A = this chain, B = another copy of it.
Amino acid sequence: MTDLDTLSVNTIRGLCMDAVQKANSGHPGTPMGMAPVAYTLWQRFLRFDPADPIWPNRDRFVLSEGHASTLLWSLLYLTGVRTVDPDYEVLGRPAVTLDDLKSFRQLDSRCPGHPEYRWTSGVETTTGPLGQGVATSVGMAIAGQWLAARFNRGDFTLFDFDVYALAGDGCMMEGVSSEAASLAGHLQLSNLCWIYDSNRVTIEGHTDITFTEDVAARFLAYGWNVTTVADANDLDQISRAFHTFRAETERPTLVLVHSHIGYGSPVEDSPKAHGAPFGPEGVRATKRVLGIPPDADFHIPDGVPDWFARGIGARGAELRSGWEKTFDAYRGAHPDLAEELERIQRRQLPDGWQDALPTFPADPKGLASRDSSGQVLNAVATAVPWVLGGSADLTPSTKTRLVFGGAGDFQPDDRSGSNLHLGVREHAAAAVANGMALTKLRPYWSGFLIFSDYAKAAIRLSALMEIPTVHIFTHDSIGVGEDGPTHQPVEQLAGLRATPGLLVFRPADANEVVETWRVVTALRREPAALVLSRQPLPTLDRDRLGAASGVARGAYVLADASPGEPEVILLATGSEVSLALAAHDELAAGGIASRVVSMPCWELFDRQPREYRDQVLPPAVTARVAVEEASTFGWDRYVGDGGAIVGMHTFGASAPLKQLLNKFGFTPERVSQVARELVAPG
């Protein structure tokens, strides 16, 4: 440990303390304890070029204990990481300035309370909700292995990056991390290293009060390599641990670091160090202990930035330029693959990818939207080879297996497969998909809609990060039938639709499924949830009805009884669209002119110009009936004061579908009756 090592570590600590103190808000404890570990990793190991923080083969660093964000902000600042714009251009501007650090947690600072992907360059994933970072890191490691299998050729090694995630006791307690660790152990992700900051202090006190398991033994049980650092301040021990990780070729590695929360401060080893500033006196006292000038705030000693430039900076620049030379040669030898890789990096799709999309002929019997979606997904993934994914052990039910030639399983003995077996681990499945999306693959994962509840926190993060993860949910209503209320979603659609930035699609038939995938595949910054039926849906006759391309506008007119404005509008999504069409026919037979509006994606419809929205839902037509086998919550926006909603007000029941439709009133008779009452009350 050189003087510059010590000086650098304590410079980080000083910045972290000062930022929290100035904001009078934040979490100083973890940065104080883990600064030496983060420093050692960045300065001595991380293959990362601050001048190009999106270089494809960089090692990834995930701060899973996101409340320690000042640790990351300090490193981004001291190493001089540059800004990346939304179109993936690297700009000369620093990602984090000293002013940003000084305005930690203030509006518009690049140093917010928790690391936020997109907002600050150099942040690999948004963290804060505990466990998410480590789980997401598993997806990054999978993506790294897949990219290596696809693009490394002969002497060309384009991908061999490692993924590091720094996790605290909280991350280790969260179930999502257990799921992800079990999966990572199974997949033998030797490019994955979790660093467990075992300070044994949480908000309520010492971990002795609730967390007394043997974490190392647990990870050994998952099939991980485990190594221990007894002293978080011993840089050589820390280095040895990372060498151990690098030497490991068959297992992920857990580096268990015994650390001291709030190291050097008057509240060291106390829960008080976790989530509050040390106070001006506490900061000064700590600086004295650490040899930092006690009255110098945000102190950057001479030589420290240069030391980082000579360490991580020089190493990163050399590695990146070497990689770029390799890639130039690769482009000559493998032009198609090189072009593919460049498209991946820019989130561009192959030319002509839409050509393979099928259309489905009208068919009154039809097929379940999970089935049509499975077909379309296969067409998409054939055209876009970096579309890959898996299911939380429900592939035969969600129909998401990729079956075209070459689409095998992703397993330890074959990293080229496109099908992941994610296990009965929905939460990790969604987080893993996020990690793959952050590595710019186009991942999907699938499960039953009811189990979106298990994965909600990770689904939310995909929306917050603005990454195009595709969440596929089948068995989307009481249409599940006999499995009963534990398996029948009711409120899930409302919860997903209320999530900002998440596009929720519930297509009505096979051709709406096609159009849904057309929109979803082209998304670059938005996640989507596909909500699909278990039961067959008639394939609508598009010669007679509105074109399915209307999906792109969120809602569209599917049927009108006659030219001009209808007396009543029936709004529906998914399986209820055919029901609305049947009611429409009944109404027509009774002399009532109705319109059927299919409304597969509320969010897209809300973005249309008012003119279009008024065209679909003319303000003058106030008699409106929404039909959806889900909670009525939210539909009032579209049916208005004069409308009615045929939906669910209770949980479902266990019975064959037909009995349930009768019990809960999803019949053409009921819908047309409700419509008639609106048109001619009483």
Interface residues of A (CB under 8 A from B): 23, 25-26, 66-67, 105-109, 112-114, 116, 126-130, 169-171, 173-179, 182-183, 185-186, 202-205, 209-218, 220-223, 271, 391, 393-397, 409, 411, 421-428, 450-451, 453-454, 456-457, 460-461, 463-464, 481-487, 490-491, 494-495, 497-501, 622, 631, 633-634, 636-637, 640-642, 648-651, 653-656, 659-660, 663
Cα–Cα, bound, A421→B411 (Å): 39
Nearest residue (CB) in B for A177 is B175
What is the CA–CA distance of A483 and B409 in the complex, to the nearest angstrom? 40
| Chain B residue contacts of A495, Cβ below 8 A | 456, 491, 494-495, 498
30 contacts between A and B (CB under 8 A): A66-B486, A105-B654, A105-B656, A106-B654, A107-B655, A113-B486, A113-B654, A114-B484, A116-B484, A127-B486, A128-B486, A129-B453, A129-B486, A173-B393, A173-B423, A175-B175, A175-B425, A204-B394, A210-B421, A210-B422, A213-B223, A216-B221, A220-B221, A453-B460, A463-B651, A491-B500, A494-B634, A498-B634, A500-B631, A641-B641
Give the residues in chain B near A185, CB-CB below 8 Å.
212-213
Contact of A393 (CB < 8 Å), options: B66, B202, B214: B202
A493 to B: closest C-beta gap in Å: 8
Whether the Cβ atoms of B113 and A483 lie closer than 8 Å is yes
Is the Cβ of A212 less than 8 Å from the Cβ of B202?
no
Residues on B with C-beta less than 8 A from A127 are: 486
A585 to B96, CA, bound (A): 44
Whether A633 touches B217, Cβ cut-off 8 Å, given contacts A116-B485, A484-B114, is: no
Other than A107-B653, A129-B450, A498-B631, give 11 A-B pairs with Cβ distance below 8 A: A26-B482, A113-B483, A170-B424, A173-B423, A175-B175, A175-B428, A182-B213, A204-B394, A214-B221, A461-B486, A490-B500
Contact B221 A396 (CB under 8 A): no
Pair A221/B213 contact, Cβ less than 8 Å: yes
Tell me, in angstroms, the Cα distance from A648 to B183 when the chains sit together.
37
Nearest CB on B from A408, distance (A): 12
User: Is there contact, CB below 8 Å, between A482 and B105?
Assistant: yes
Q: Out of B106, B174, B631, B641, which one reaches A659, CB within 8 Å?
A: B106
Q: Which residue of B lies closest to A205 (CB)?
A: B421
**Looking across the interface, which residue of chain B has its beta carbon closest to that of A219?**
B221
Q: Which B residues touch A456, using CB under 8 A?
A: 453-454, 456, 495
Q: Whole-angstrom distance from the CB of A76 to the nearest CB of chain B?
A: 16
Q: How far does the Cβ of A670 sit from chain B's closest Cβ, in whole Å?
A: 17
Q: How far is the CA of A184 from the CA of B491 in the complex (A)?
A: 31
The answer, among B107, B114, B215, B500, for a CB contact under 8 Å with A483, is B114
What residues on B are CB-neighbors of A202 within 8 Å? 393, 423-424
Q: Which of A25, A113, A183, A211 gathers most chain B CB within 10 Å?
A: A113
- CA A451 to CA B497, docked complex, whole Å: 18
Nearest CB on B from A632, distance (A): 9
The reply to whether A112 and B186 form a contact with Cβ atoms under 8 Å apart is no
Look across to chain B and name the residue whose beta carbon is closest to the beta carbon of A448: B129
A487 touches B651 (CB 8 A): no
Return A411 CB to nearest CB of chain B, in Å: 7
Cβ of A203 and Cβ of B659 under 8 Å apart? no
Please tell me if the beta carbons of A210 and B633 are within 8 angstroms of each other in the complex.
Answer: no
Q: Which partner residue on chain B sits nearest A220 by CB separation?
A: B217
Question: Cα distance A215–B182 when bound, in Å?
Answer: 10
CA distance A554 to B202 in the complex (A): 37
User: Is the Cβ of B222 less than 8 Å from the Cβ of A218?
Assistant: yes
- Closest Cβ neighbor of A115 among chain B residues: B486
> Of the candidates B67, B463, B633, which one forms a contact with A494 in the assembled complex, judged by CB atoms under 8 Å apart?
B633
**CA distance in complex: A463, B453 (Å):** 14
The smallest beta-carbon distance between A407 and chain B, in angstroms, is: 15
Is A633 touching B634 in the complex (CB atoms < 8 A)?
yes
